[in-house]
Amino acid sequence: MSEARITDLYEVTMAHSYLAEGMTAPATFSLFVRKLPPGRGFLVAAGLEPVLDHLARVRADQEDVKAFAAALGRPCHDLEPLLGLGFGGEVWAVPEGRIVLAGEPLLEVTAPLPEAQMVESFLLNQVCHQTAVASKAARCVLASGGRPVVDFSLRRTHGLQAGEQAARLGAMVGFAGTSNVSAAHTFGLRAVGTMAHSYVEAFGDEAEAFRAFARAHPGPVTFLVDTYDTGAGVAVAARVLRELGLHDGCAVRLDSGDLGALAVLARKVLDAAGLPRVRITASGGLDEYAIDALVRSGAPIDLFAVGTLVGVSADAPYLDAAYKLVSYDGRPMMKLSAAKVTAPGAKQVFRGPGFADTIGLRDEPAPRGTSPLLERVMADGQRTVPPRSLAQARAAFEFDLAELPAAARGLVDPAAPRAATSERLRRLTEEVRGRIEDRLRAVGAADPRTHTG
């Protein structure tokens, strides 16, 4: 299916109307998150790379026009003005891996109005989902206290693409591997995995299951020890590991029950068997909160495998994000709806030490001691920078994380930094608001600040 059809119907109807009215002057739209989800002190920007790929290749062909016409129940020739519509504009964006705050644009698009409108749904879909998952994964890395975290989320993510994205985003913020073979191959990640309970059950005897697995996969192995009784399973695993002379790199995996207490038990059994270098892996319903509790308890767990709760960002599965028109044909625009006011004009975020951020206009000089966060990544519909590697995104994340105030890194009741607004942006906002209110008063409208929408 053509990517031009990956949009909402109202994008099509608006773009078609703009073309019919000759409204093709440059428009700037800003994509930002109004407020952070509960329990979040920061967000990790993600999703830009697939967005740029999409913008560079999207173009409505004849089949797309037929699909648009069918959706609207109209003759195909009515929608012919959309034929060939693609994206030939400019994008300024926060590079993947950078940490961002509420209200800061993650990206801004400037293109002829119909083009900038048609891509809204795709951009919001990619940036919102991936930023939410990357931010959740980053919190797991914080909670682990330096112990490796790996991705086990494929079987529970909302679709195969989301599974690949979760593996990539985990790697972006420091995960050590993924169980997703396709994602590991695509992104050059370490593939990790052990066995399922069904494997052990199929043999009927844990010792034979472990021996068979080791025969099929020589080298470091990880045995799942909680199919029947965890204490007994660890003892069996220890016996088989000693029998086969396996030590370094091997592990046992705990997947249920009181993981902290069972890890203590497993460590005692392994040490008593002369296997101090055999590691303990924990999985099963883990996220940053569970990992943090285990680490704080002193549980001797060497590696955490996270799945469902992280792959779907269960406690914050969506972002309060918007894609709003801020300029058209050289005129700054804003929305005045209650609780949804937007600021006009193309913007830049100027980052100061310790996340002393200022949101300003793109063409104003950077305040002393700050650096611009958004970069121009596309012009005339083509990338102006090469694709950003995972290593680059991870380095950017680690740099920002080191600068992020400790209060924002907290897992419970974090205190998120708040970006300031530049004087020039404040003045422009008041000027545009005043013009809108004057126009509304002239036509007898009520106070626009009381409107909802």
- What's the CATH fold of domain 193-311? TIM Barrel (3.20.20)
Distance separating alpha carbons of residues 7 and 16, to the nearest angstrom: 13
Phi, psi of 292 (to 5 degrees): -60, -45
Instruction: Tell me the helices (H) and strands (E) count for the chain, helix number first.
Output: 16, 19
Distance of CA 400 to the CA centre of its chain: 16
Closest of 280, 298, 296, 300 to residue 288, by C-alpha? 296
User: Residues 336, 350: contact at Cβ < 8 Å?
Assistant: no
Distance separating alpha carbons of residues 46 and 137, to the nearest angstrom: 12
What's at 205, amino acid-wise? D
* pLDDT string in tens for the chain (453-residue length): 689 999 999 999 999 999 999 999 999 999 999 999 999 999 999 999 999 999 999 999 999 999 999 999 999 999 999 999 999 999 999 999 999 999 999 999 999 999 999 999 999 999 999 999 999 999 999 999 999 999 999 999 999 999 999 999 999 999 999 999 999 999 999 999 989 999 999 998 999 999 999 999 987 999 999 999 999 999 999 999 999 998 889 999 999 999 999 999 999 999 999 999 999 999 999 999 999 999 999 999 999 999 999 999 999 999 999 999 999 999 999 988 766 788 999 999 999 999 999 999 999 999 999 999 999 999 999 999 999 999 999 999 999 999 999 999 999 999 999 999 999 999 999 999 999 888 888 887 555 554 443
Q: How far apart are the first and last CA of the chain?
A: 34
Regarding beta strands 251-254 and 279-282, do their DSSP bridges make them parallel or antiparallel, or are they unpaired? parallel
The tally of CA atoms less than 13 A away on the side-chain side of residue 173 is: 32
Q: Give residue limits of the domains in the chain.
A: 3-133+316-450, 193-311
Q: Hey, which residues does 251 pair with through a beta bridge?
A: 222, 279
Structure-block tokens of residue 284 = 């099963």
> What superfamily in CATH does domain 3-133+316-450 come from?
nicotinate phosphoribosyltransferase (3.20.140.10)
The pTM assigned to this predicted structure is 0.94
What's at 312, amino acid-wise? V
Length of the chain: 453
Q: How many CB atoms are closer than 10 A to CB 124? A: 18
